Amino acid sequence: TQLLEQSPQFLSIQEGENLTVYCNSSSVFSSLQWYRQEPGEGPVLLVTVVTGGEVKKLKRLTFQFGDARKDSSLHITAAQTGDTGLYLCAGFLSGNTPLVFGKGTRLSVIA
């Protein structure tokens, strides 16, 4: 059973377009994180969201944590080819449990 469901699985868009990827669960998480992974490399942390309803911005990336702390979204404005990669959401069910990951959204931004 996958605790964190990500959608879409694959996304291919043109440079300059906007996109949103989603991360959903039936479980409540104490916090959620988003990672980006490039081929041949390990995931790299982008952001941590802790409070229900929290919104964080990282340049053109906007992250939101759902009010009930069961879901999160990542919105990219004016995508660039450098945004290409695998976006993974991951969460802590509690402060003492290890990180669990979703399957990821593979994003391809075409020039």
Partner 1 sequence: EAGVAQSPRYKIIEKRQSVAFWCNPISGHATLYWYQQILGQGPKLLIQFQNNGVVDDSQLPKDRFSAERLKGVDSTLKIQPAKLEDSAVYLCASSLWTAGFDGYTFGSGTRLTVV
What residues make contact with partner 1 under the rule CB under 8 A? 4, 30-31, 33, 40-45, 48, 50, 88, 90, 92, 95-104
Cβ proximity to partner 1: between 75 and 106 the closer is 106
- End-to-end C-alpha distance for the chain, whole angstroms: 37
Q: Which residues contact 20 (CB under 8 A, 6 or more apart)?
A: 73, 74, 75, 76
Cβ proximity to partner 1: between 14 and 96 the closer is 96
Q: How far is the CB of 11 from partner 1 (least distance, A)?
A: 15
Alpha-carbon span 86 to 94, nearest angstrom: 25
Amino acid at site 62: T
Cβ proximity to partner 1: between 9 and 80 the closer is 9
